[in-house]
């Protein structure tokens, strides 16, 4: 079978992903990733060596026990734009014990409170929280937010009980077990809903990707019950919701697709303290797809993932479109990725 010809006039990494939709209809997804260096003050420079697409995704540690760093970008479609911030909270002075980290980009914004290490301990039957320790920087990862897995056991069929919204975090204890004498407190919290008492379950707070098997995302995958097993399997459930493909944290999924020229500000997630940025794409690229039978399609590549990586000082912009196929990859003759035509 001949491979489709790809002409990429933009020079950014581009992949053709041959996938299937909810009804097992074969589709071809065109995925493009632009990458820029984030300079001091927030200036953006196009990378001379583009950052390659991480089609397998990456984690902050063991994939079975850690949060996603870069989600594998293999969804055939996203309903709107995910905004993700990777990096650390940076203290402005040596005696900082607490600060707020904030991100605003176009219509999305989020603020979390970051505290130094603390413990909740029991003495004379009462719990008290220690004062936060001073810190220089703290990673903005879900391992530092409320959640976790109760390693004391007690789960059914050998499965350890966990906080299903964030099984890798801090502070969770199985309510079916005896109270523990000491609990590590989360470093990252929603300032409006902090963790203040043993047994509370505040929402995990963060800026990173949400894993597909974490709530509330996994609920959007649909109902895998006996009826699905008997009537629908191996297709996705009929109540599958395409919002499942959006993987950003709560508050960081845009109401629609970003244009690519939005302005934003990031507070206390870089040594500068405040970082003002403006997305660099002023024109939506498009692709021309030739299908066998001399059918031609022209579709915009929509910006559906923005990754601001302040550890690597990189901005990644992922754009995507898809086309249904009749048989499979052999339907595609060629794909041309082009800048937007001037009006």
* 219-233 pLDDT per residue, tens: 999 999 999 999 999
- CB atoms under 10 Å from CB of 41, counted, come to 10
Using the predicted structure, report yes or no on whether residue 308 has a pLDDT greater than 90: yes
Confidence bin at 3 (pLDDT 50/70/90) = confident
Using the predicted structure, report yes or no on whether residue 116 has a pLDDT greater than 80: yes
pLDDT at 293: 85
**Residue 97, phi-psi category: left (phi > 0), alpha (psi -120 to 50), beta (remainder):** alpha
Domain membership flag for residue 117: yes
pLDDT at 124: 87
Domain membership flag for residue 28: yes
pLDDT at 285: 93
Q: Which among 307, 298, 130 is positioned nearest to 209, based on CA atoms?
A: 307
Q: What is the pLDDT of residues 63-73, one digit of tens each?
A: 999 999 999 99
Confidence bin at 279 (pLDDT 50/70/90) = very high
Domain membership flag for residue 85: yes
Using the predicted structure, report yes or no on whether residue 98 has a pLDDT greater than 70: yes
pLDDT mean over 46-51: 94
pLDDT at 2: 64
Look at 158 and 268; give whichever has higher pLDDT.
268
The rounded mean pLDDT for the chain is 94
Q: Which among 34, 29, 17 is positioned nearest to 307, based on CA atoms?
A: 34
Percent residues over pLDDT 90 in the chain:
90
Using the predicted structure, report yes or no on whether residue 45 has a pLDDT greater than 50: yes
Domain membership flag for residue 87: yes
Determine the 3-state secondary structure of 40 from DSSP: helix
Using the predicted structure, report yes or no on whether residue 342 has a pLDDT greater than 90: no
| pTM reported for the whole predicted model | 0.95
List the structure tokens of 232: 């629908």
Domain count, the chain: 1
Domain membership flag for residue 343: no
pLDDT at 104: 98
Domain membership flag for residue 178: yes
Exposed, middle or buried by CB within 10 Å (0-12, 13-18, 19+), for 93?
exposed
Give the end-to-end CA distance of the chain in Å, rounded to a whole number. Answer: 38
Using the predicted structure, report yes or no on whether residue 111 has a pLDDT greater than 50: yes
Confidence bin at 341 (pLDDT 50/70/90) = low
Range of the domain at 157: 5-338
């Amino acid at each position: 079978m001949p491979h489709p010809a790809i002409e990429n006039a933009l020079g950014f990494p581009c992949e053709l992903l041959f996938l299937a939709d909810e009804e097992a209809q074969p589709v071809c997804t065109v995925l493009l990733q632009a990458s820029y260096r984030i300079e001091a003050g927030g200036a953006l420079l196009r990378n001379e060596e583009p950052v390659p697409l991480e089609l397998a995704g990456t984690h902050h540690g063991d994939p079975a026990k850690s949060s996603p760093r870069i989600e594998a970008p293999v969804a055939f479609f996203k309903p709107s734009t995910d905004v993700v911030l990777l990096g650390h909270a940076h203290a402005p002075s040596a005696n900082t014990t607490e600060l707020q980290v904030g991100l605003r980009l176009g219509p999305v914004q989020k603020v979390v409170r970051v505290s130094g290490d603390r413990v909740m301990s029991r003495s004379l039957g009462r719990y008290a929280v220690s004062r936060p320790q001073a810190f220089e920087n703290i990673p903005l990862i879900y391992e530092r937010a409320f959640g976790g897995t109760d390693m004391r056991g007690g789960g059914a069929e050998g499965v350890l009980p966990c906080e299903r919204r964030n099984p890798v975090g801090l502070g969770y204890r199985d309510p079916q077990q005896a109270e523990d004498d000491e609990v590590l407190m989360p470093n990252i919290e929603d300032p409006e809903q902090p963790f203040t008492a043993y047994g509370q379950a505040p929402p995990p707070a963060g800026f990173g990707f949400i894993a597909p098997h974490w709530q509330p995302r996994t609920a959007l995958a649909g109902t895998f019950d006996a009826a699905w097993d008997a009537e629908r399997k191996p297709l996705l459930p009929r109540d599958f919701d395409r919002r499942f493909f959006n993987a950003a944290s709560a508050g960081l999924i845009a109401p629609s697709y970003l244009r690519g020229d939005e302005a934003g500000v990031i507070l206390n997630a870089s040594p500068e303290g405040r970082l003002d940025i403006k997305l660099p794409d002023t024109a939506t690229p498009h692709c021309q797809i030739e299908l066998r039978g001399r059918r031609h399609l022209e579709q915009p590549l929509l910006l559906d993932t923005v990754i601001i990586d302040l550890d690597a000082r990189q901005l990644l912009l992922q754009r995507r479109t898809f086309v249904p196929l009749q048989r499979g990859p052999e339907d595609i003759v060629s794909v041309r990725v082009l800048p937007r035509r001037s009006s």
